[in-house]
């Protein structure tokens, strides 16, 4: 009986040893440092049964067609909007995720962005490295007494709401499925979406990206926010309409934005490839919008690193390998498309 072939893509050098050490001994193990989209056909191992990507691999029907023996995708992420789940379900391919690994980690990064904005840390640093220690234009604001609004109240959001309480902030949240017990335990109040937008001095996004949340923060939503409010997004770029965000920043409606995620974030740094015919007009437009955001002094953008702490990345590795073990044992877990089970 042939050994199960497992392919990890987007694998960083440190991951190779950690993954191989933990993977089942009876399996053949392959790693590639690029996304699956950038692995050429002649470098794609035959007979891959399990594929483990990260968020930058776009697992489309076309990519699935290159892996005829695939039975399981074990994504090393909580989100799975980079995977065509419907196409996987049609082929009977299980998709497993890592539902919990960095709730505290991502919440802390959200506040790192927020504090950098409210105390103008990034602008202070840029000034002092040039030997300029003047403080003109660097006056910040206190968080205590202001209102922290959370869009969503999942695990990450609850950590963020707890942190906000530590700063003495009033805390409100909106969620389609309110959990009043959690609200009472943490000390926040559920409000409707319009009230969240109207009352929040800080709006922090903690919902998944799907057709219902795509561009949920659009021009209409931003127009309802307090003048001078701050937007924090550590969730997914597609939740915020980038043109509406640019307009709100340009008009002064928003006081600032801390963004760990962007639409088309995988292409923003690939300027040499932007003239390629593989990029459509819409993708190019989003890339230009992202570059425009970089020019605002009250915008901080980090390269999708909210998850990236020592503790969190090891939890990702451990859970992913456990998902693979469970799949091979016929006891798949953390399956996001149970309809694929046969």
Catalytically active residues are: 236, 265, 304
Token pair for residue 94? 């299980």
Q: What is the DSSP string of 137-182?
A: T------TTSEEEEE--SHHHHHHHHHHHHTT-EEEEE-SS--HHH
Please report where in the chains the tokens 């990519």 appear, as a residue.
63
Strand positions, DSSP E, 215-308: 229-233, 254-259, 299-301
Query: What's the distance, Cα to Cα, between the start and end of the chain in Å?
Result: 22
Pairwise CA distance, residues 7 & 49, whole Å: 8
CA–CA distances in Å: residue 68 to residues 49, 50, 64, 328, 329: 9, 11, 7, 18, 21
SS3 (DSSP) at 31: strand
């Amino acid at each position: 009986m042939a050994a199960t072939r497992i392919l990890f893509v987007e694998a960083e050098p440190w991951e190779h040893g950690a993954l191989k050490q933990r993977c089942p001994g009876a399996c053949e193990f392959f790693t590639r440092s690029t996304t699956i989209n950038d692995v050429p056909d002649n470098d794609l191992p035959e007979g891959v049964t399990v594929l483990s990507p990260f968020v930058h691999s776009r697992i489309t029907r076309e990519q699935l067609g290159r892996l005829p023996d695939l039975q399981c995708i074990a994504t090393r992420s909580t989100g799975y909007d980079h995977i065509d789940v419907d196409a996987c379900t049609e082929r009977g391919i299980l998709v497993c995720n890592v539902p919990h690994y960095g709730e505290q980690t991502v919440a802390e990064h959200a506040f790192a962005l927020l504090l950098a904005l409210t105390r103008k840390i990034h602008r202070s640093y840029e000034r002092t490295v040039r030997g300029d220690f003047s403080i003109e234009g660097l006056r910040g604001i206190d968080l205590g007494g202001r209102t922290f609004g959370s869009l969503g109240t999942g695990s990450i959001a609850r950590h963020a709401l707890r942190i906000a309480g530590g700063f003495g902030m009033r805390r409100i949240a909106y969620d389609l499925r309110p959990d009043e017990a959690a609200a009472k335990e943490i000390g926040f109040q559920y409000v409707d979406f319009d009230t969240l937008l109207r009352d929040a001095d800080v709006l922090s996004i903690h919902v998944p990206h799907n057709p219902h949340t795509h561009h949920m923060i659009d021009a209409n939503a931003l127009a309802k926010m307090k003048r001078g409010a701050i937007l924090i997004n550590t969730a997914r770029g597609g939740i915020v309409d980038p043109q509406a965000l640019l307009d709100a920043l340009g008009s002064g409606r928003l006081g600032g934005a801390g963004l760990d995620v962007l639409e088309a974030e995988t292409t923003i740094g690939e300027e040499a490839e932007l003239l390629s015919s593989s990029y459509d007009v819409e993708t190019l437009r989003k890339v230009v919008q992202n570059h425009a955001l970089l020019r605002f002094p009250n915008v901080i953008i980090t390269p999708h690193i909210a998850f990236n702490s020592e503790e969190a990345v090891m939890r990702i590795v451990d859970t992913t390998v456990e998902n693979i073990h469970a799949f091979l044992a016929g006891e798949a877990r953390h399956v996001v498309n149970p309809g694929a089970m046969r």
